[in-house]
Amino acid sequence: MALKTLKDVDLKFKRVLLRVDFNVPLDKETGEIQDNTRIVAAMNTIYDILDGGVTELVIMTHLGRPKGEKVPTLSTKVLAEELSNIMGEEVLHVSDCVGIPCKSQDHRVFMLENVRFHPEEKKGDEGFAKKLAEHGDVFINDAFAVCHRDEASVTTVAKVMQAEGKAIAAGRLVEKEAEMLGKILENPKAPFVMIVSGAKVDTKIGMIQNFYDKVDTFILGGGIANTFLAAEGFDVADSLYEEDKVELAREILVACSEHVNEVVIPTDAMVASEFSATAEAAHVPVEDVMGDMRILDLGSNTIDRCVEILSNAEMIVWNGPLGVYEFPQFMEGTKRIAEAIAANKNATTVIGGGDTVDAVNKLGISFKEYTHVSTGGGAMVEFLEGKVLPGIEVLMD
């Protein structure tokens, strides 16, 4: 089956309902947007739709976690203002996502209020989706980051509109994500390196298992690496790890030994006795971690080994920073690995996950240095687990 895309639909004189992922970080004090990367990422789709001769473009998204209630600090009005600044034309904010028609002689682009202000959104409610569908003659989904969610504005509205004889399709962003991540699944290139980091093993276990027979080297970091260190018998002291997943980590290591050339687990680390930006960092071999020590970054020897592996890779997938990158004394592992991936111009390089993208932003490395920067965290992981994402499946021809 093929994914239906913008080239497959006629937009002329149509009203287009566009689902985007503008779930951007906001300053807790001022409410201002801290990073507009997700908005900028959707601009190709927005401009292509407008160039298609539409009469109206109605944009819907969620913002934060209002849990089905109207939370003024999570209003999409700030998104309409930011989009207006980017486009150079006013995007009219609509005070609710249902019940209010999008009509104006002076505007062609509208931003609906937060779809998650309604509890029906998370439930995938058909009645709610039908109300959303009233805003368009065509539905375009460009919100890859929520394509693993079976929610009203992602899947149900597409089914409703298709049943009504209306066209549905993927936007440029969703199309590119499906293409790039599909290549990793279907056509891996050796040497293939996968960097897996984060707090919890079970959020990434499916991805690791799906690539046993495809990956040459796994590089593990963060709380996941600590759990694997515990599985190998090391004392991780006060470090973040999952005690109940130690046996699972042992099983993964056994399975990897049968298929994968190497699993890189830290041999040295940067540790501290407290979790803070002012904590005094110390460099120790992992066998010397003890007492109140917390592993907060890779050590220099482990980093050097990772950089060497990455420099010779032909395909690299990176999901999750390698340490507590928010604190400068524990950012070195993430920094050098981000730089090593960017420097390998012979490899297909795909990075993803909210924290990974945030770290690269903080480092000032251009996204253009990588083959593809995924906008999806959980969606990217589930896609690479081999799962069919409901938001993608509904758009298949």
Residue 304 neighbours by CB distance under 10 Å:
13
Q: In this structure, which long-range contacts are made by residues 299-302, counting pairs with CB atoms below 8 Å and at least 24 apart in sequence?
A: 299/266, 299/267, 299/268, 299/269, 299/270, 300/268, 300/332, 301/267, 301/268, 302/264, 302/266, 302/267, 302/268, 302/269, 302/333
Q: Is residue 169 within 8 Å of residue 9, measured between CB atoms? A: yes
Q: CA-CA distance, 397 to 6, in Å (whole number)? A: 13
Please name which of 206, 189, 317 lies closest in space to residue 252, comparing C-alpha atoms. Answer: 206
Residue 327 neighbours by CB distance under 10 Å:
17
Torsion sign (Cα): 373, 379, 381, 385: negative
Which residue type sits at 150?
Answer: D
Which residue type sits at 153?
Answer: S
378 tagged catalytic: yes
DSSP secondary structure of 120-139 = HHHHT-HHHHHHHHTT-SEE
Give me 95's structure tokens.
């005070």
Residue among 221, 353, 354, 391 flagged as catalytic:
354
Q: Is residue 167 within 8 Å of residue 196, measured between CB atoms? A: no
Q: CA-CA distance, 35 to 273, in Å (whole number)? A: 32
Q: What is the number of alpha carbons within 13 Å of residue 373 lying toward its C-beta?
A: 22
Give me 222's structure tokens.
């963060």
Q: CA-CA distance, 227 to 212, in Å (whole number)? A: 19
Residue among 52, 206, 378, 387 flagged as catalytic:
378
Q: CA-CA distance, 77 to 114, in Å (whole number)? A: 9
Residue 68 gets the label, from left (phi > 0), alpha (psi -120 to 50) or beta, of: left
Residue among 4, 14, 15, 38 flagged as catalytic:
38
Residue among 159, 200, 305, 387 flagged as catalytic:
200
Could you give the C-alpha distances from 43 to 18, 49, 57, 84, in angstroms and in order?
12, 10, 13, 12
Write out the catalytic residue numbers.
38, 200, 354, 378
